[in-house]
Every structure is written in structure tokens, then in C-alpha cells.
Amino acid sequence: MRVMVVEDDEDLRFSVAVELGAAGLEVVEARDLATADASLRQGDFACVVFDRMLPDGDSLDYVQHRRQTGWNTPVLFLTARDAIADRVAGFAAGGDDYLVKPFSVAEMAARVRTLCRRSDGRPSVLRHADLEVDCARRAVRRAGVLLTLSDKEFAVLEFLAIRPDQVVSRTDIIEHCWDSSTDPMSNVVDVVVKRLRRKLGQPELIHTVRGRGYRLGAYGPVS
């Protein structure tokens, strides 16, 4: 899923982008409202993280205007303003969450992932056979046993679990779980899937569909 981070502080923007990328999200960065608006009008995003005060204006005013036109992408405001009145104004303008600086980037990433799930309407816990993928807690259990997965392993498994019994191409997995600089011809997906299969154990849940990609399901490969 793609998210946008609109922040003029380069160090903070970089830290936020790194944390969200590690969580398996594709991050688009912008330093001002004009740049953000151009990108938002060209493609879909699961969530947008806005700093309140930007070089070309208050993002609250931008969001309020866009909401009036029917724009419904979830928004998280970042701000140094911690007064109750400021938070109320943020929600009234159409914000979905509000985080006061300084903040934990890990907490911010968790909030963004929650907003992303809200945008696609899927449940926070995905279950297939004896597999349980808790998207909110980023926890995976197989037959009740808690598994330890890397961020990338979790991102790939979650992407497959959202689409049970559907064939998902390697290109789609790369586009959603890696950044745009990853070579679609590389074997990074195969490496992660191999590790996932080993950790998930038997019977196998991730099946290779020759020439097409991978499928998560309780039954064997389909042609």
C-alpha cells in the first residue's frame, strides 16, 4: 500500500519514511502542499501523514477543502500544537488521527497502518486454515504458536493473506512490499517466500503457481 508523508523537516521526514518502509509500505515524500497535491491527484494512497505547518500553508486548511470535494483518504496530522482546541480543530477539518511532536516513530507507524486498514475495510485479524495474521499487533500464529517474522516477511505474508486463494504475481508483491527502486526481475520475493515457508511449517500454505506467482491457501497449487 502507498502512503504519503508531507513534512518540511528533512530529518523527520526521512525517519518517518524509513519506519513506514520497514513496515512494508511504499512511501511517497513531499515537503510542501503543492508537491503533495500534485501527487495526490495522480494516484491513490491508503493514508497521508501531514505536518500541520508547511512552507506554503496549514495542511488543516488543505484537508478541509479536499474533504468538501469528497476526498476520503485517511489523514494523520503531525503537529507541535498540543492544545485540546487544536486537536478538535484537526478532527473537525477531516483528520482521522492527531499525533503531537515529539513522538515515537514506531507509534506513528502503528497508527498509519491502522488507518490504512480502515481505508480498505478489511479486518485487523486475518484467518486462513490454522494461520492467524494479526495486522494490528503485527503478530502471526500457526496452530496457536506465535511465530517470529521479519518486517519484510510479515509484509509479504500479510499481502498474500489479504488475497486468500488468489494468485499474486511477483511484480505485485514487489510493488506493495518494497520501494520503487527494487528490480522486478530480482529474486527478493522468492528468498522471502522460502523463509516464510520454513517458518510456517507443514502443511504448506504458500503455493507456487508456475509462471504466475504465489497463492496463499489451505490446498495445493492450481494451474
- 74-to-2, 91, 166 alpha-carbon distances in Å: 12, 11, 27
pLDDT per residue as tens digits for the range 139-161: 899 999 999 998 789 888 988 98
Structure confidence at residue 223 (pLDDT): 44
pLDDT per residue as tens digits for the range 159-203: 898 888 889 898 888 877 776 556 656 788 999 999 999 999 999
Residue 99's pLDDT band (cuts 50, 70, 90): confident
Fold type of domain 125-216: Arc Repressor Mutant, subunit A (1.10.10)
What nine digits make up the cell of 88?
478538535
Angle at which helices 33-40 and 59-68 pack, to 10 degrees?
Answer: 30
Better pLDDT: 171 or 123 = 171
Fold type of domain 2-120: Rossmann fold (3.40.50)
| Rounded distance between C-alpha atoms, residue 140 and residue 114, angstroms | 17
| Lowest model confidence (mean pLDDT) among 23-27, 56-60, 117-121, 213-217 | 117-121
Structure confidence at residue 136 (pLDDT): 64
Paired sense of beta strands 75-79 and 131-134, if any: unpaired
Query: Would the pLDDT of 137 be above 90?
Result: no
Sign, CA dihedral 165-131-22-55, equals positive
Hey, where are the domains in the chain? 2-120, 125-216
- Max Cα-Cα span within the chain: 59
